[in-house]
Amino acid sequence: MIRGTVVGQVWATRKARGLDGQTLLLVAACDAEGRATGRLVVASDTLDARAGEDVTVAFGSGARNVLRPGPENRDVLCDAAIAAIVEGAG
Amino acid sequence: MFLGRVAGTVWSTVKWPQAQGLKLLLVRPYRLGDLPPGAAPVAGGTASEPTDDLVVCADTLDAGPGDDVIVAFGHAARVALSETLPPGSKPMVPIDAAVVGVVDRVEIPR
């Protein structure tokens, strides 16, 4: 997982069917000190995260478990999802 | 997933047989500094050109050079490719990145 800050949102009409209904947020990855590294990630959001909020982003099967927890989620089209809204880090 | 701009196309003749017919694009990911606040970095928008290293991506959405796209990695890329196959068949392809959306709009609050 990474920690990052939500910086915006992305919209696409022409897309894979598996993305239908997903809210896609732009997240700027942070380093250990909380500074943006420059890397941007597009992550699916189910927690209603807002721009400016710090979040954690899970990748791979961890991301699929955010969208649909359970063993039968191999058909979920998601490789990055917001797993938590961060309140503090030290 | 990442947001990037299509920079070109890749052709190959010698390749894994299961990859026959797959269109491959070169996509350059956007970095944070490439997207000014409030910008809508769709083709013709005000964003500067992305600056990161190129990624080779399979494309089934007919994206072209200059388009801004969303690219998925890993299993999610093969899930996107499987949508173009008959129901139930699996994309046994050596692909780990695919275009999953052609971007209309990006909103970055100031």
Q: How many domains does chain B have?
A: 1
Q: What is the mean pLDDT of residues A14-23?
A: 97
A34 touches chain B (CB under 8 A): no
Classify residue A54: in a domain, yes or no.
Answer: yes
A62: domain CATH number is 2.40.50.220
| pLDDT on residue B21 | 80
What is d(CA A29, CA B46) in angstroms, rounded to the nearest whole number? 23
CB contact under 8 A, A12 and B103: yes
Classify residue B20: in a domain, yes or no.
Answer: yes
- Per-residue model confidence as pLDDT tens digits over B48-58: 667 678 999 99
**pTM of this structure:** 0.91
Domain of residue B92 covers 2-102
Nearest-10 Cα torsion for B41, B47, B51, B53: 10
Contacts of A8 in chain B (CB under 8 A): 35, 106-109
Tokens of A77: 């089209």
Is-contact A52 A29, C-beta < 8 A? Answer: no
B75: domain CATH number is 2.40.50.220
Q: How many domains does chain A have?
A: 1
Classify residue B75: in a domain, yes or no.
Answer: yes
Q: C-alpha A33: how far from its chain's center? A: 20
Residue A28 has pLDDT above 60, yes or no: yes
Classify residue A90: in a domain, yes or no.
Answer: no
| pLDDT on residue B53 | 84
Classify residue B41: in a domain, yes or no.
Answer: yes
Classify residue B19: in a domain, yes or no.
Answer: yes
- The chain A residue lying nearest B41, using CA atoms, is A10
Contacts of A63 in chain B (CB under 8 A): 76
Classify residue B110: in a domain, yes or no.
Answer: no
Classify residue B107: in a domain, yes or no.
Answer: no
Is-contact B98 B81, C-beta < 8 A? Answer: yes
Domain of residue A79 covers 2-85
Contacts of A61 in chain B (CB under 8 A): 75
Shortest alpha-carbon distance between residue A70 and chain B (Å): 16
Tokens of A14: 């022409």
Classify residue B57: in a domain, yes or no.
Answer: yes
Task: Please tell me which of the candidates A8, A78, A79 has its beta carbon nearest to residue B109.
Answer: A8
Tokens of B2: 């990442």
Phi, psi (degrees; rounded to nearest 5) at B47: -70, 150
CB contact under 8 A, B61 and A76: no
In chain B, where does DSSP find H-type helix? Answer: 74-82
Phi, psi (degrees; rounded to nearest 5) at A19: -90, -10
- Count the neighbouring beta carbons within 10 Å of the beta carbon of residue B66: 11
The complex's ipTM works out to 0.93
